[in-house]
C-alpha cells in the first residue's frame, strides 16, 4: 500500500504521496521436504542430525558405461502416494517431488485453501532443468519409431513451470503462479520472489521452493563430461566432502524443498505455528563466466541480503552455505564469506548439508531454505560430514561431522548457479 505523508515544507502542508511502500512481515508456517535422506521433513531432519550420507550407487539406470556410478537418489519415493494413477504418466519426477513436498508443507502449515481465500494464495516453484527423464524417454521413442511415437504429454510433463501449475491445481491456490529456472539458484529465487510478493501485499501466502529430478543417464553423463562431479566410485558415501582438502566434485541429488510463506498478521490470526521470519533477500550476478564462480557476486549477495534485513553483518550466527564440494567453488565461497563478514566470518558457523543430501541443483535452494528455517526454529546446526583433511584455504567453522546445539537468531542460506546467478535468504528466529 502507498503511504500518505505530510510534507511540512510544501505550501500549506499539503498531503503528498511517498514513494515508499509499507512492507508486510513474512513468516514460514509450513515445510515440506523430499530428499535423499527421507521422503518427509522429519525423516530428512533426522538424517541430517545423525550425519547420515544419502549418497549411494545409482539404482535407477544401468551405469556400466558411465564414468560416475553414484548419486543421491530419493530412495523409496513412491509417486503413487501423492498423484492419482491416471496422472502419473503425465508427469516427470521433478513434478512428483514438488507435489509431494507441497502437500506436506501445506498440511504442516494448517492453512486451508478455500473459495474465499484462494485468490490470495499463490504457488512459485523453481527447477533448474525440469523434465529431463521425459526428454530422454521421448527422444529415444522418436529415434526408434519416428515423431508419431512421441507422447502427447511430453511437453507439459517437461517444462519447468508445470510443477507450480500442478501444485496450484491440486491445492486450489489461484493467486500468483510462477516458476524460476536459474540453475542452482532456482529454489532460492522462487522463495525470495514469493517473499517480495507477500511483502507488497499481493498475496497473503505462497507455496514456494524448488524441485529437481535429474538423475538420468544424460544428466549424469553431461555433468561428468564437464568434470563437475566427484569420481569417487569406490566410496560413494564419502564422495560429497565440502571444504575438505580432498574434495573432487559434487554429487548430483534429487528431491524438493517447499515452504509455506505467510503474512505475519494472517498467520497469527489463525494461530499458526511459526518456524522463522524471512527478513532478507537479494540476488546478484557475477558477470564473469558461464560455469566458473567468481567471489564478487556471492560476496555482494550476502552483503545485500543482510542490508535488506536492516541488521549488521556481525548479527548473523549461521550460514547454510552453497558448499558443493568442488575445489574452486568451496574456496570461492569461503573467500566471499570472509570478504562480506570480515573478522566475524571466524565467529559464525557455516555448514554444507550437501555433504549429506548431494546437490539438488534447482531444488537445492528450496531444500536448504527449509533446513535453515528448521535450524533457526530448533536451535541446532546440521553438520558438514566427511570433513577429514582441513584445507588451508578453507579455514572457517564448517560444523565438522557432528550436529551442534547453538543459539541462532539470524541464519543465511546461500544458492549460486551456472550463468553467474546468486541468491541469498535471511531467516530470523521468531519469538512472538
Q: What is the chain's pLDDT, residue by residue, as a tens digit (432 residues)?
A: 334 444 444 444 444 444 445 899 999 999 999 999 999 999 999 999 999 999 999 999 999 999 999 999 999 999 999 999 999 999 999 999 999 999 999 999 999 999 999 999 999 999 999 999 999 999 999 999 999 999 999 999 999 999 999 999 999 999 999 999 999 999 999 999 999 999 999 999 999 999 999 999 999 999 999 999 999 999 999 999 999 999 999 999 999 999 999 999 999 999 999 999 999 999 999 999 999 889 999 999 999 999 999 999 999 999 999 999 999 999 999 999 999 999 999 999 999 999 999 999 999 999 999 999 999 999 999 999 999 999 999 999 999 999 999 999 999 999 999 999 999 999 999 988
Q: What is the DSSP letter of 115?
A: T
CB atoms within 10 A of CB 332: 23
Hey, which residues does 153 pair with through a beta bridge? none
In the chain, what is the straight-line distance between the N-terminal and C-terminal CA atoms, in Å? Answer: 24
CA distances from 336 to 115, 300, 331, 354, 382 (A): 47, 8, 9, 19, 21
Rounded to an integer, what distance in angstroms lies between the CA atom of residue 193 and that of residue 46?
A: 29
List phi, psi (to 5°) of 283: -140, 145
pTM for this entry: 0.94
* Cα–Cα nearest to 372, from 317, 300, 329, 335: 317
Let me know: does 160 contact 179? Beta carbons within 8 Å: yes
- Please say if 289 is a catalytic residue: no
Count of CA atoms in the C-beta half-sphere (13 A) of 48 = 30
Active-site residue (options: 189, 266, 322, 377):
322
Active-site residue (options: 208, 359, 377, 394):
359
Rounded to an integer, what distance in angstroms lies between the CA atom of residue 210 and that of residue 181?
A: 10
pLDDT on residue 18? 42
Rounded to an integer, what distance in angstroms lies between the CA atom of residue 410 and that of residue 344?
A: 14
- Please say if 359 is a catalytic residue: yes
CB atoms within 10 A of CB 145: 10
CA gyration radius, the chain? 21
Active-site residue (options: 184, 189, 208, 394):
184
Rounded to an integer, what distance in angstroms lies between the CA atom of residue 287 and that of residue 391?
A: 28
Place of cell 539404482: 59
pLDDT on residue 21? 57
- Please say if 184 is a catalytic residue: yes
Spell out a b/e string for 8-28, using b for 16 or more CB atoms within 10 Å of the CB, else e.
eeeeeeeeeeeeeeeebbbbb
pLDDT on residue 17? 43
Amino acid at each position: 500500500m502507498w503511504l500518505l505523508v505530510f510534507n511540512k515544507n510544501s505550501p500549506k502542508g499539503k498531503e503528498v504521496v511517498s514513494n515508499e511502500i509499507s512492507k508486510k512481515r513474512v513468516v514460514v508456517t509450513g515445510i515440506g521436504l523430499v530428499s535423499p535422506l527421507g521422503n518427509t521433513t522429519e525423516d530428512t531432519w533426522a538424517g541430517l542430525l545423525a550425519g547420515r550420507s544419502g549418497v549411494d550407487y545409482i539404482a535407477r539406470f544401468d551405469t556400466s558405461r558411465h564414468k560416475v556410478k553414484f548419486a543421491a537418489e530419493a530412495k523409496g519415493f513412491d509417486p503413487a502416494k501423492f498423484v492419482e494413477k491416471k496422472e502419473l504418466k503425465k508427469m516427470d519426477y521433478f513434478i512428483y517431488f514438488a507435489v509431494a513436498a507441497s502437500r506436506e508443507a501445506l498440511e504442516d502449515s494448517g492453512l486451508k485453501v478455500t473459495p474465499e481465500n484462494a485468490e490470495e494464495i499463490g504457488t512459485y516453484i523453481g527447477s533448474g532443468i525440469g523434465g529431463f527423464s521425459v526428454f530422454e524417454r521421448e527422444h529415444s521413442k522418436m529415434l526408434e519409431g519416428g515423431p508419431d511415437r512421441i507422447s502427447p504429454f511430453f511437453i507439459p510433463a517437461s517444462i519447468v513451470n508445470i510443477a507450480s501449475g500442478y501444485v496450484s491445481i491440486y491445492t486450489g491456490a489461484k493467486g500468483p503462479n510462477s516458476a524460476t529456472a536459474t540453475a542452482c539458484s532456482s529454489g532460492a529465487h522462487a522463495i525470495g520472489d514469493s517473499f517480495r510478493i507477500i511483502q507488497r501485499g499481493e498475496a497473503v501466502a505462497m507455496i514456494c521452493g524448488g524441485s529437481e529430478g535429474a538423475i538420468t543417464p544424460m544428466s549424469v553423463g553431461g555433468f561428468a563430461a564437464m568434470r563437475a562431479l566427484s569420481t569417487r566410485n569406490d566410496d560413494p558415501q564419502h564422495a560429497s566432502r565440502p571444504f575438505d582438502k580432498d574434495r573432487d566434485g559434487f554429487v548430483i541429488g534429487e528431491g524438493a524443498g517447499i515452504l509455506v510463506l505467510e503474512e505475519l498478521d494472517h498467520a497469527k490470526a489463525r494461530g499458526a505455528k511459526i518456524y522463522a521470519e524471512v527478513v532478507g533477500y537479494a540476488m546478484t550476478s557475477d558477470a564473469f563466466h558461464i560455469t566458473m564462480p567468481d567471489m564478487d557476486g556471492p560476496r555482494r549477495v550476502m552483503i545485500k541480503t543482510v542490508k535488506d534485513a536492516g541488521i549488521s553483518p556481525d548479527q548473523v550466527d549461521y550460514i547454510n552455505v552453497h558448499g558443493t564440494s568442488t575445489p574452486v567453488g568451496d574456496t570461492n565461497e569461503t573467500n566471499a564469506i570472509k570478504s562480506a563478514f570480515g573478522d566475524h566470518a571466524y565467529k559464525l558457523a557455516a555448514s554444507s548439508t550437501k555433504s549429506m543430501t548431494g546437490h539438488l541443483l534447482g531444488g537445492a535452494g528450496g531444500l536448504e531454505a527449509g533446513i535453515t528455517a528448521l535450524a533457526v526454529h530448533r536451535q541446532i546446526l546440521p553438520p558438514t560430514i566427511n570433513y577429514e583433511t582441513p584445507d588451508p584455504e578453507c579455514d572457517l567453522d564448517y560444523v565438522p561431522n557432528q550436529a551442534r546445539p547453538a543459539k541462532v537468531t539470524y541464519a543465511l542460506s546461500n544458492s549460486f548457479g551456472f550463468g553467474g546467478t546468486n541468491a541469498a535468504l535471511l531467516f530470523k528466529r521468531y519469538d512472538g
